[in-house]
Structures are given as structure tokens and as C-alpha cells.
Amino acid sequence: MKFLEANQILQDFKGKETIPIRLCMSGAHQPMELFVKAEAAKHDKLLNLLSIPPGTLQQHLMTGLDGKDIEIYLLFPWDLCCELDWRTGVNAPTVSPEGFLLEASALANRLKIRKYAHLFYVPASIPPVFPNLSVMTEIATGLDKIMRGIGAHFLDPEVFDFGNFLNSSFPISGRAVGEVAKYAIDAAFQCEINIPPYVPRKAEVFNSEPGKVLVTDLDNTLWDGILGEDEPGCIRFEPEGRGFKHFVYQTFLRKLKNEGTLLAAVTRNDPEDVDMVMASDRMVLSQMDFVAVIASYNAKSAQIRMLSEKLNLGSQEFIFVDDNPIDLAEVKPYLGASRCIAFPEKDNQIPQFINLIAEHFPRTKVTDEDKERTLLYRQQFKIVAPNEDEGEDLTTFLKTLKMKLTILDRSTVSYERCIQLINKTNQFNLNGCRLSEAQIAGIINEGGCLYGATLEDRTGNHGEILACLINSQGIVESFVLSCRVFERQVEYGFTCWLLAKNNAPLRLMYQKTNRNEPIRRFLKNAGCELGGNGLVSIDPKAFRRLHRHSLKLLKLRCT
């Protein structure tokens, strides 16, 4: 049953027999209430649905048992052990594993004596709060045993929706809510409940030798947002909204650090911007939690190689986390594919992602030396100059992306996105000049032109990612590229196309800013002389000769 169907059933229902039922769950109750009422209507019953306030399940179970209201309990592991709640982050436990199961047993005993209670349990993935992953398996199977012992119906773990849970406190997947409501009403009205059998968890064997270093990206990984475009005050990492999953990730990294794992960050950003965020005391993590934070526009594999040498640790002891498939592909030849882990795009993938990383850093115990390891190693990294070495060759990987660059003449219509790019982009920005719509229109009306470009590849459609404004004298006044598509050679392919035109612009209005190091590198690779700010010239034949391979990586289309 879907939402519109449930809503229509209730609108059409004319029943009069009222049945009181109390829905008990620790999260938000909507939209479960709608579906439960609709299911009751199918039985020709008007439901008087009671509930408990969010977060009061424990208090409710301490109340008396005098009432005869039917109770439906929808329970998750964190209802049994509060320290397993993903919403509070992945934190070190304050009790022993036995303490977790004792807490769960006490709650189960209070459930067991409720005469009119029907119990449903979702054995969802739990956060790795203990570094010994075998202990985590024991806790999970122990919780299963406790709930089975009091006669709970087991639902599919996929009923749990991590994204809903973080964003609205409603823990159930939209596709499953109707099915769960049917199970609840079937139980309440003593009908046959046809739940697919739950397959118990299998014991897993984990690597007993932990990794040593976790290297993480920052933009859209440690926080939500791109520092070079969104400004430091606009990135998000709080336990709410779009920053919630990054908050969970940060708490997990803090726990790993306190257990002896070394953290490092490698990012394509300006060091000053990164320092501003790290020193703000707004995040769970601070700069002191990392042995090194390397902000540059150099190859990430080269930075990790430098870290390996300085720490005197082998590449097999490193794990790299990034959201960008290009950076992951660039690092994989050095670390290996299994040690390069993509930060999830979808919220629901976070539990699996966290537990996957935990498998690379298992520990049977944490010593005092482990707790001090970051402080000891930080002494080697008081000053870290980025490694200028070349990174791994990405050509083969870029070919597999099957990139399509559509070049758009924006000189007459629909140049709102180009204006936005020119006024927002900082890193790949020819001069940092902000231009109003009237100024751009004036340049076009005087005989200039404006180009935009969209990019799509097998990973998806990246939208309009480029803007190039050329005045009537053939001077490039603005050239910007979104940092979302760095390292794809788009800027070189586009410029090859532009320089092949009969009226190709041969000069660019360059100005150095505090943030546009990537455009400086591009101009240097283009053979431009950068003696200072002002006009720089470009040789079209030389550029096309040097970078024609970039053009071959792109399927170009002009509109």
C-alpha cells in the first residue's frame, strides 16, 4: 500500500466501531500512523490511535499495566541499548559488552510482562562502538537472542532507513511502511502474520592486524559542501540536515583516533581556508586530531606517498576515503583498490560504509600508547610542504568515463548559470572578478560572446560546469570551471576546441587571487608567461599540440 492509496482509504471509510491501539516506537510516528489507520479501515475498524512522545519509550515501559489498550512496539537495536543510536554518532562505549546485553535484557523483561503488547524487531546495522569487531557481532547476535526469547516478530533489516532516521527521526523506509503497518494490524486483530523468515547473522572472521593510517578528503566527505565555492561559513557538519552524515563520520574518526589510528587529511583547497575551519571549534574534529592536514592542488597519491615515507609505514597500512571517483582512481594504483573507499553519496549507505572502514582498523584492546599515538606523530609534521611529484596517470581511467562535453553558446539566452559560476567559482577562476548580469550583457552587446558547457559521464550528469566570457577584442575576460569536475581534463579539451575556431581568443585577462592556484597551473601548462597580473598570451598551435590527448577523452557536441 502506498501513501495516496492509504489516504484515499481513510477518506472513503465510514466505519463506526472504534478500536484503541497504542503505537510505541522511539522515533517519529508519521507517516506510520496514516498507514496503520488505513490497514484498520480494511478490517472495517475505526482506529483510535494512541502514541508515545518521541524518545520516551523507556519511560513508557516504567508505567503501570492497568490499561487494556492493544500496544504495537516497533523496536530497533538502539531502543535496547541507547549507545547504539546512530543519531548520537559513533562513540566509545561507557559500559562493557555485557553491560549492553544487561540493559537490553532489562528492557526486554519490561516488554515481556505487557499482556497486550505485540513486538516487532528490526535487526538493523549497528555502529562499531567497540574496536573489537567480534564483540560487535556478539552484541548483535545477543540482541537477536533476547528479542527472540520474548517472542518478537523479526522484520527485514532493510526496513530501517538511515536517511529518514537522521533527517526526520522516522526510521522506516518509505517502501516498507505500508507492509510494516499491515503486520502491526494483523497482529493487533489476531490475523495470520506472513513475515518472510529472518536469516540469523553469520559470525564473521575479521583481520586481526589493524591498519595504521586513515587518509580522508574534506569537501563533501568530512563536511558537506565545497570549501572553495561555498565559503567556510556555509559548509555543514552539524548533527542535523545535510551535515548529519558527516557528523556521524567525524565522530567515528574521532573514536578511531582515540583507539590509536592515525588520521590525515589530503584536500584540494587553499591552506588558509582549511585552517580557518579546523581552528573554528565548530566541528567534532580539530586540527590536533590529525597528524597532518595537506591542502594543495597536487596529486593526492603523491601526498599519501610522502606521508608513508615520513611515517615510515608501508602503503598497505593506509586507507583512503574520498567522494571523488577521479581522486580514488588516481590513488588506487598506489594503495590498491580495496584500500580506496568511496564516501557514500546516499545517506542509507553510511552504516555499511562505517562498518567497512571499521573492518580495516580492528583492535582487541586499546593501550595508553594507542591513545597518545597521534600526539607523538604530530611532532614529525609541524610543517608539511605539499609533495610536488606527479601523480598516477589517469588517462586509462578517464577513457572509461565516456565523458560528453556539450558546449553551449550562451550569448543570447539562458546565461543565468554562467553568471552564477562566474560569481561563485573561486579556485579555477581566471581573475576572481565578479560580474553583474548587466555587465555581461554589455560585453555581449558590444560584440563579445559567452560560452557555457555541460558535462555528463557514466557516473551521472554534472550539469553546467564551465563559463567563458570573451569580449569584442578577442580577450578572455572570464574563464571558470566548477571544482566538481577537476582532474577530468575538461578545461584542456574545451580550450583546444576554442583555439581551433577562426576567431580564437589569443589573450586572457589574468589576475592572481588568494584562491585561484588551479588556473595558474592551467596557464603554466598552457605555456603562458605569468610575469604578473594583466593580459597573458596563448599560442593556439602549441597548446593544441601539447593537449590534443585531452580532446580525445571527450565527446564534444556544440549547440
Query: Both 449 and 503 in a single domain?
Result: yes
Burial of residue 249 (number of CB atoms within 10 Å: 0-12, 13-18, 19+): buried
Residue 66 pLDDT class (50, 70, 90 cuts): low
Query: Both 222 and 371 in a single domain?
Result: yes
The CATH number given to whatever domain includes residue 154 is: 3.40.50.1110
- Sign for the CA dihedral angle at 425, 427, 428, 434 comes to positive
Mind listing the pLDDT tens digit for each residue in 13-52? 777 778 889 999 888 888 899 999 999 888 888 888 888 8
Phi-psi region of 460 (alpha: psi -120 to 50; beta: other; left: phi over 0): left
Q: Would you state the pLDDT for residue 231?
A: 75
92: pLDDT strictly greater than 90: yes
Which of 393, 428, 453 is the C-terminal boundary of a domain? 393
Query: Both 154 and 232 in a single domain?
Result: no
Q: Would you state the pLDDT for residue 125?
A: 95
Query: Both 477 and 443 in a single domain?
Result: yes
Locus of grid cell 503505537: 23
User: What radius of gyration, in Å, describes the C-alpha atoms of the chain?
Assistant: 29
d(CA 502, CA 479): 19
Q: Would you state the pLDDT for residue 6?
A: 81
384: pLDDT strictly greater than 80: no
Q: How many domains does the chain have?
A: 3
Three cell numbers written together for 167: 533527517
Q: State mean pLDDT over 328-347.
A: 94
Which of 376, 393, 410 is the C-terminal boundary of a domain? 393
Burial of residue 393 (number of CB atoms within 10 Å: 0-12, 13-18, 19+): exposed
Q: Is residue 246 part of a domain?
A: yes
Q: Would you state the pLDDT for residue 202?
A: 67
Three cell numbers written together for 543: 597548446
Query: Both 258 and 171 in a single domain?
Result: no
Q: State mean pLDDT over 298-302.
A: 92
Query: Both 339 and 233 in a single domain?
Result: yes
Query: Both 449 and 489 in a single domain?
Result: yes
What average pLDDT does the chain have?
91
Mind listing the pLDDT tens digit for each residue in 391-448? 777 888 899 999 999 999 999 878 899 999 999 898 999 999 999 999 999 999 999 9
Q: Would you state the pLDDT for residue 454?
A: 96
Q: Is residue 195 part of a domain?
A: no
Q: Would you state the pLDDT for residue 13?
A: 77
Query: Both 158 and 85 in a single domain?
Result: yes
Q: Would you state the pLDDT for residue 45?
A: 86
Q: Would you state the pLDDT for residue 220?
A: 96
Q: Would you state the pLDDT for residue 391?
A: 73
Query: Both 460 and 548 in a single domain?
Result: yes
pTM score, two decimals?
A: 0.87
Q: Is residue 381 part of a domain?
A: yes
Q: Is residue 235 part of a domain?
A: yes
Q: Is residue 85 part of a domain?
A: yes
| Residue 150 CB contacts under 8 Å (≥ 6 apart), including other chains | 108, 111, 112, 119
Query: Is residue 15 within 8 Å of residue 45, measured between CB atoms?
Result: yes
Query: Is residue 465 within 8 Å of residue 481, measured between CB atoms?
Result: yes
Q: Would you state the pLDDT for residue 213?
A: 97
Locus of grid cell 569487531: 133
Quickly list DSSP for 427-489: SEESS-----HHHHHHHHHTT-EEEEEEEEETTEEEEEEEEEEE-TTSEEEEEEE-GGGTTS-
Segments forming the whole domain that contains residue 385: 213-393
Three cell numbers written together for 306: 610522502
Q: Is residue 200 part of a domain?
A: no
DSSP 316: G
Query: Both 156 and 258 in a single domain?
Result: no
Mind listing the pLDDT tens digit for each residue in 82-91? 999 999 999 9
| Residue 515 CB contacts under 8 Å (≥ 6 apart), including other chains | 228, 270, 273, 426, 427, 429, 432
Q: Is residue 205 part of a domain?
A: no
Mind listing the pLDDT tens digit for each residue in 240-281? 999 999 999 999 999 999 999 999 999 999 898 899 999 888
Mind listing the pLDDT tens digit for each residue in 174-202? 999 999 999 999 999 988 888 988 877 66
Query: Both 365 and 265 in a single domain?
Result: yes
* pLDDT more than 70, % of the chain: 96
Q: State mean pLDDT over 75-80.
A: 96
Which of 393, 408, 431 is the C-terminal boundary of a domain? 393
491: pLDDT strictly greater than 80: yes
Q: Would you state the pLDDT for residue 52?
A: 87
Query: Is residue 105 within 8 Å of residue 146, measured between CB atoms?
Result: yes
Q: Would you state the pLDDT for residue 44?
A: 87
Nearest alpha carbon to residue 498 among 521, 537, 472, 470: 470
Q: Would you state the pLDDT for residue 81?
A: 95
Q: Would you state the pLDDT for residue 385?
A: 66
Residue 300 pLDDT class (50, 70, 90 cuts): very high
According to DSSP, the residues that pair with 126 across neighbouring strands are none
Three cell numbers written together for 422: 562566474
Q: Is residue 138 part of a domain?
A: yes
Query: Both 117 and 258 in a single domain?
Result: no
The CATH number given to whatever domain includes residue 291 is: 3.40.50.1000
d(CA 329, CA 27): 40
Quickly list DSSP for 184-244: HHHHHTT----PPPPPPPPP----SS---EEEE--BTTTBBS-HHHH-GGG-B-SSSGGGH
The Cα-based distances of 282 to 225, 228, 262, 266 in angstroms read 15, 18, 21, 20
CA max distance for the chain: 89
